[in-house]
Structures are given as C-alpha cells and as structure tokens.
C-alpha cells in the first residue's frame, strides 16, 4: 500500500514514520525471518514457476517442449481472453465509481455528525463485508431467481414482469450489485477513518470564514482524504480484474448467461482445470497480472499528481 505514497512522502527511505534507529544488525531478521520464509514459499516460488511454465508447451504428441514466447503471442491474439478483459473493464468503469461514490456519501454523512444513530449506521453498512462471497452470491442469486426469489414475488404480487436479473443482458449488472453490496461498507470505513483524522483547526478556520457545509466538503474534506480515495480505487480495480467468485457461483443459476471464459480469471481457471492447459493458463494469468499492474500504476500516478 505504501507504493501509493505521494512522491513527497517516499523520498529517500521507504516511507514510514521517522524512527530513531538502533544499530544496524541482523537481529531484525529474527523477527521478519518467518514471514520472509513463508513469503518466498507461497509467493516468490509460484511466481517464478509460473514464468517458467509460460515458456513451455505440452502436446499430446511430442510431450513438453520449450516454445519461447509463443504462448504470449497466442494470448495476445486470443479473442476469448480479450473479451473477458473488455467485460471486466466495462464492469470496472461502471461499478467502481458507483460503489465508491456511495461509500463516500455514507462516510461524509456519518462524519458530518448530523445523523441520528451514526454508530448504528456505520456498523450496519459495514456488516456485509463479513459475509463470504459465496454466501453473498448464493443469497442474491436466490433473490434474483424466479423460483423463490424476490423478483418472482414482486412479479406475482403486482402482476408485472420485471426484467430477469439472471438473463444475459442483465447478468453483469447483477454481479455488479452483489460486489457493491459486499464492499461498499468496507470502502466507507476506509474513507470514514481518513475523515476522522482531518485536523479540527481546519473546520474552525472554515467556520470563521463563513464556509458552508458543501464548501467544507469540497475544499477541506475531499482533498484531505484523496490518498484514501486513490487507494480504494486501486484496490477496487485489482478486485474487478480478478473477478471470479461471483460469476463462478452464479454460473449454476444462469448457465446460459455466464460462459466459462466470462472473466479473464474464470478463463485461466477453466483452461487449467477443465482443459488441462497449464502452460497456457499460466501465460494468460501473467498477461492479466501485467495488465492489472499497469492500470493500477496509471491510476496511482494520475490520482496523486492531480492538484498535488
């Protein structure tokens, strides 16, 4: 997360509070060692292995052979892969702003001190974060469904025909709703925590200047939490690009609307576990990882530069 430090903060040394250092010694390794060891095993080793895998190809005839960058070439021209990338890209452009916008509005409302029962609001909006994606998706999936869902109930009760949320036209929006429900409270809490530490003198000064609530929000609060906004955006981007759980679980309820290459991540999963194409699957995962990192990096640069 500290990659996201503004240039001013990064400076010479990895960011972090200025600490009076003890002598440079190996003692610190005694404490960080266990983390580093497990990290190497479950993070660095698979990463290296995945790059290695992406350079080979296994065929029925001829076995495994070194193919250089052929897999990458294939991935770059793979329509199924890019369709998935476009789909999550669209998802990202629509869902992330809605979710973060709602989170910000709730955070500002709670922070304004003008709500009745603000603690109740804060904890309740946050609660869905504690619900596993599996449960959230099953729950919403049932509610969407015609069999015992709320949509079916409403249709029966009012004699209307609402559009089917599980149809292929609406399924992406339905997934977006589930993801929004799960994470709006989490993002709200990030914004709210940032708002709480805005120095009070600023509000008092604004009051003396006769600034209204709206002006306080745009001139003081939003600039003060820009770091939090950028971080939440980047996490949401990474989350969108990794979209898997919700479509994979909804797939059983909407088999016609969700294909096994619906998102890039679903595609790598299908390649690997239905298609046994491990080498190509690793390649697609790496390409997707690179795309994610580039987008996250660009957002970070832009977000931090603007008006800084």
Partner 1 sequence: MTMSGTTDAPRPTAAPKPTAAPRLRAPRRPHGPGRPRRSILLTVLTGVMLLYSLVPLLWLVISATKTQQGLARSFGLWFDGDFALWDNITETFTYQDGVFGRWLLNTLLYVVVGAGGATLLAVLGGYALAKFDFPGKRAVFAVVIGAVAVPTTALAVPTFLMFSKLGLTDTPWAIILPSLISPFGLYLMWVFAAEAVPTELMEAARIDGASELRAFFQVALPLLAPGTVTVLLFTTVATWNNYFLPLIMLKDPDWYPLTLGLDAWNKQAATAGGEAVFNLVVTGSLLTIAPLIAAFLLLQKYWQSGLAAGSVKE
How far, in Å, CA of 180 to CA of 77, rounded?
Answer: 32
Backbone angles phi, psi at 60, to 5 degrees: -55, -45
For 282-289, the CB contacts below 8 A with 24+ separation are 282/50, 282/51, 282/53, 282/54, 283/53, 283/54, 283/71, 283/72, 283/74, 283/75, 284/75, 284/78, 284/81, 285/50, 286/50, 286/51, 286/54, 287/72, 287/75, 287/76, 287/81, 288/85, 288/241, 288/264
104 belongs to the binding site for partner 1 (CB under 8 A): no
Residues in region 11-50 near partner 1 by CB under 8 A: 14-17, 19-32, 34-36, 38-39, 41-47, 49-50
Residue of 9, 69, 173, 298 that binds partner 1 (CB under 8 A): 9
CB 178 within 8 A of CB 136: yes
Give the residue among 46, 55, 45, 47 at the shortest CA–CA distance from 283: 55
* Residue 53 near partner 1 by CB under 8 A: yes
The residue length of the chain stands at 308
Site for partner 1 in 263-302 (CB under 8 A): 265, 268-269, 272-273, 278, 281-282, 285-286, 288-289, 292-293, 296-297
Which is nearer to partner 1, 19 or 61 (by Cβ)?
19
The CA–CA distances, whole Å, from 152 to 143, 164, 251 equal 8, 9, 19
What is the closest distance, in whole angstroms, from the C-beta atom of residue 14 to partner 1 in the complex? 5
CB closer to partner 1 out of 248 and 258: 248
Nearest alpha carbon to residue 106 among 116, 94, 121: 121
Count of residues touching partner 1 (by CB under 8 A): 127
Contacts to partner 1 from residues 107-126, by CB under 8 A: 109-110, 112-117, 121, 123-126
User: Binder to partner 1 among 88, 99, 189, 254 (CB under 8 A)?
Assistant: 189
Helix (H) or strand (E) holding 71: helix 70-76
- With binding defined as CB under 8 A, does residue 3 bind partner 1? yes
- 64 in Cβ contact with 56 (< 8 Å): yes
**Residue 203 contacts partner 1 per CB under 8 A:** yes
Among the listed residues 88, 100, 184, 254, the single contact to partner 1 using CB under 8 A:
184
Query: What residues numbered 58-77 form the site for partner 1, per CB under 8 A?
Result: none
Nearer residue to partner 1 within complex by CB, 66 or 116: 116
127-166 residues in contact with partner 1 (CB under 8 A) are 127-136, 138-140, 142-143, 147-150, 153, 157
CB of residue 252 to partner 1, shortest distance in Å: 5
Binding mask 206-245 for partner 1 (x = CB under 8 A): -x--------x------xxxxxx--x------x--xx-xx
């Amino acid at each position: 997360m500290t990659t996201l430090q503004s240039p001013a903060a990064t400076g010479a040394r990895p960011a972090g509070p200025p600490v009076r250092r003890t002598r440079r010694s190996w003692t610190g390794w005694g404490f960080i060692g266990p983390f580093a060891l497990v990290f190497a095993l479950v993070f660095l080793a698979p990463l290296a292995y995945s790059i290695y895998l992406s350079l080979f190809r296994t065929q029925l005839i001829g076995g495994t052979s070194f193919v250089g960058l052929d897999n990458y070439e294939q991935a770059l021209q793979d329509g199924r892969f890019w369709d998935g990338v476009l789909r999550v890209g669209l998802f990202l452009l629509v869902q992330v702003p809605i979710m973060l916008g709602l989170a910000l509005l709730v955070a500002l409302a709670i922070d304004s001190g003008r709500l009745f029962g603000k603690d109740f609001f804060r904890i309740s909006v946050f609660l869905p974060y504690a619900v596993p994606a599996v449960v959230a998706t099953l729950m919403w999936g049932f509610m969407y469904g015609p069999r015992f869902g709320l949509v079916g109930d409403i249709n029966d009760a009012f004699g209307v025909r609402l559009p089917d949320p599980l149809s292929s036209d609406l399924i992406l929006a339905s997934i977006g709703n589930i993801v929004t429900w799960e994470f709006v409270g989490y993002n709200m809490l990030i914004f709210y925590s940032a708002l709480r530490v805005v120095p009070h003198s600023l509000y008092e000064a604004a009051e003396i200047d006769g600034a209204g609530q709206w002006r306080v929000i745009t001139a003081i609060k939003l600039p003060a939490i820009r770091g939090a906004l950028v971080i939440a955006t980047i996490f949401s981007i990474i989350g969108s690009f990794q979209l898997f759980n919700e479509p994979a679980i909804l797939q059983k309820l909407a088999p016609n609307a969700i294909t096994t290459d619906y998102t890039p991540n679903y595609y790598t999963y299908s390649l690997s576990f239905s298609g046994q194409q491990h080498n190509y699957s690793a390649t697609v995962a790496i390409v997707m990882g690179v795309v994610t990192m580039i987008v996250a990096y660009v957002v970070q640069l832009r977000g931090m530069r603007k008006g800084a």
